[in-house]
Amino acid sequence: MIARLPKRPRIAGLLFALALASLLAFPNPAGAGNAVTNTEVSVGSPDDIAPRSHQNEPAVAVDAHNPDVLVAGSNDYIDQQACPQDLATQAARCDDFSAGIGVSGVYFSFDRGESWIQPTYTGWQARDCGTATVCPGSFGPIGRIPWYYEAGLIDDGDPAVAIGPKPVAGTFSWDNGSRVYYANLTTNFPGAHGLPRGYEAVAVSRLDNPTPTSVLQKPSWNPPVIVTEQQSQTAFTDKEQIWADNAATSPFFGRTYVCFAEFRSNGHHNPGTEIAPLTVSVSANGGDTWRTSQVQPADAGGHGQGGFGSSGCTIRTDSNGVAYLFAEKFQNPLYSGLPTHGSQIMFTSTDGGFHWSKAKTLFTITDLCFFQDPLSGRCVMDGYTGARTDLGSAPSVDIANGAPTGDDATNLIVDAWADASGGLNHEAARVAWSSDGGATWHGPTAVSLAGDRPMYAAPAISPSGDRAYVVYEAVTSPWAGDDVTTPRPWHGVFLSAPVGSTGPGAWSTVYDGPLADLRSSFPGHRFREERVGDYVYAAASRDYGVGLWIDVRNADVCPAIQDWRAESLAAGAPVIPAPWPLTDCPAAWGNMDVWAATTG
């Protein structure tokens, strides 16, 4: 599909308009002469209704057996109520989540990412509600993963997707076709008890042999399976990722892994710490049942100066069936000060996830956390009232495992993240790689474009290990402090490099997206801050790569919101009454899209 032209923010004042024009100049989108298509993924959502036009935290997976097929997910507010006036003006937000409407959007491509489908199913939604007051919702059309309402659950976002072989009679084979896995967080629907235990769990939905016709049918999806049935009553899981062993040479071919951080207590322990060990759930039967094991000791949640818990996990497998689990171990800012210096850690399993090694420290990194926002309390890097950077330096990993057969695997591991080791305003997307199962590493090396300050980055490598890709999203303006009137240019970038015996070669720019103003964003609920989410995603086949990020090219800055943010920042708390976006803002305020670049 053809990308829509960006809209000019409706901002008064000649000097401000001149500043915007100078900062938001459009770069060459193709870069390096590579064939590339860029397109919107979240094609079902409206462009002019906040918060229904909002998406964040995209994920994508490619079918190694049928690489024309991609599945993607995001936190998608498509089915929320148009911003109700009472909630907006009296609570400075568009959504209080009381109606039990989920946010786990799902999308498919059958042409290597050149165009996308967002199916319409049925479930709990508030699309047709009025705008005066908060609406309880009703059963109707949805653009999200189905069957959660019927199970007494809410699809609570943090999407993760994978595609592996379909099992038949207990045997995995690509001859049986492919199985799509969609993992997300889930909690009880109001008044229901779909969760056996805990406040927030992980659930997985599955769909077999996707086609342009079958994905439009709700019965193609199996109802969600609760992965974490045995969690404690106080457990709150977060930031899960899923992977299906897709290399036929693996002795654990078809096995599916989900990793996550499991917060286990309502109370705080040492200052600023919580019990939150990394946990892995494994299914050997295509997601029907799951076995969960704790990878870290419970006190690894971070005591004293040494830690602040581990999160931001990534899990992958090589052609020999070795499973690799990566995460960031965070430093406690109450002891260390800012910026924090976390470490990337790795665990391995050689028996299909039954047992895991002790943590191996790979790199010490500098988190994108020079400043904490006084309103949100989160680390921000573009300016106050800015977008949070929680997992920007967590490892995102891919392995050249030779899928679907595994026969020509190099098992090269590629790791990418955003890092502030160069200091404030000199952040970079960094890449490291290992050719010996993570025993030794090369790099890290900076790969981002000059002037870019990446917030999130992710790699992909072809199954045969001959080409690598990195997608990142970045702000290009320096730290703005409490200046909320100057534009904060933002864009997505997709890079590629040939891979030889010594690792990736020279990186070329496949796509350099147009700059737009990050101040036009918000989390889909609270007005007080910008938001793009906590990660980006990439995937690769033998012939192409694809990267997904959050784009604001079609969003408009709202002067009333910026004035309110400035007033709230000065007051130290959100000021009431707040603006009502439906009348006080341009219609495209908050219109955040999942965007893709593909070389397919």
Question: How far is Cα 117 from Cα 174, in angstroms, rounded to an integer?
Answer: 24
pLDDT at 232: 63
% helix, strand, coil for the chain, step of 5: 10, 35, 55
pLDDT at 335: 84
Question: How far is Cα 37 from Cα 587, in angstroms, rounded to an integer?
Answer: 27
Closest CA to 144 of 61, 83, 205, 208: 205
Residue-averaged pLDDT of the chain: 92
Closest CA to 162 of 185, 144, 142, 178: 178
Closest CA to 248 of 165, 167, 142, 305: 165
Instruction: State which amino acid sits at residue 302.
Output: G
Q: Which residues contact 523 (CB under 8 A, 6 or more apart)?
A: 54, 56, 529, 531
Six token digits for residue 313? 């996990």
Instruction: State which amino acid sits at residue 596.
Output: A
Q: Could you tell me the pTM of the whole model?
A: 0.93
Output DSSP code: residue 597: E
pLDDT at 495: 99
344 half-sphere exposure, CB direction, 13 A CA radius: 28
Within a 10 A sphere around the Cβ of 540, how many other Cβ atoms? 27
Q: Contact, 597 vs 563, CB < 8 A?
A: no
DSSP 393-451: TS-EEEE---TTT-TT----EEEEEEE-TT-TT--EEEEEEESSTTSS-EEEEE-SPTT
* Phi, psi for 44 (deg, rounded to 5): -90, -15
Instruction: Return per-residue pLDDT of the chain as tens, 600 residues.
Output: 333 223 323 333 333 333 334 333 333 333 334 589 999 999 999 999 999 999 999 999 999 999 999 999 999 999 999 999 999 999 999 999 999 999 999 999 999 999 999 999 999 999 999 999 999 999 999 999 999 999 999 999 999 999 999 999 999 999 999 999 999 999 999 999 888 777 889 999 999 999 999 999 999 999 999 998 766 666 678 889 999 999 999 999 999 999 998 876 645 444 444 567 899 999 999 999 999 999 988 665 555 555 678 999 999 999 999 999 999 999 888 888 999 999 999 999 999 999 999 999 999 999 999 999 999 999 999 999 999 999 999 999 999 999 999 999 999 999 999 999 999 999 999 999 999 999 999 999 999 999 999 999 999 999 999 999 999 999 999 999 999 999 999 999 999 999 999 999 999 999 999 999 999 999 999 999 999 999 999 999 999 999 999 999 999 999 999 999 999 999 999 999 999 999 999 999 999 999 999 999
pLDDT at 27: 37
pLDDT at 5: 28
Burial class (CB in 10 A: 0-12, 13-18, 19+), 35: exposed
Closest CA to 454 of 432, 475, 468, 430: 475
Q: Where are the alpha helices (DSSP H) in 53-167?
A: 85-91
Question: How far is Cα 594 from Cα 549, in angstroms, rounded to an integer?
Answer: 6
Burial class (CB in 10 A: 0-12, 13-18, 19+), 346: buried
In sequence order, what E strands does 245-320 have? 256-263, 278-283, 291-294, 310-317
Q: Which domains does the chain have, with CATH numbers?
A: 37-598 (2.120.10.10)
pLDDT at 22: 39
